[in-house]
Structure 1
């Protein structure tokens, strides 16, 4: 539940292109939790993390 909330918040912040540092933090947390749980949403969270990292470096 926490991982999905973090992932959802990170995606919303990315979509708004607002507070990308917070989005990055939330996304990393989601990936960390999903990795530990071996959750099927891990790939989606990793893709969001990559998008946020690209947006920050643009």
Structure 2
């Protein structure tokens, strides 16, 4: 699953079920796609964590 956030939109590459799950995840964090695009890159990776 890959998510490309560009200044004018979002491109998601993956299986349809993966894309649906990621859209549901991001819908919980952002009201609009514009908010998602303008958010700092750290916030968009909130589902990832660093393991030390």
**Bin for the TM-score computed over the shorter chain:** under 0.3
Q: TM-score, normalised on structure 1? A: 0.27
1 or 2, which has the higher helix percentage?
1
Higher relative contact order (CA 8 A, sep 6+): 1
Q: Which has the larger radius of gyration?
A: 2
Q: TM-score with structure 2 length normalisation?
A: 0.28
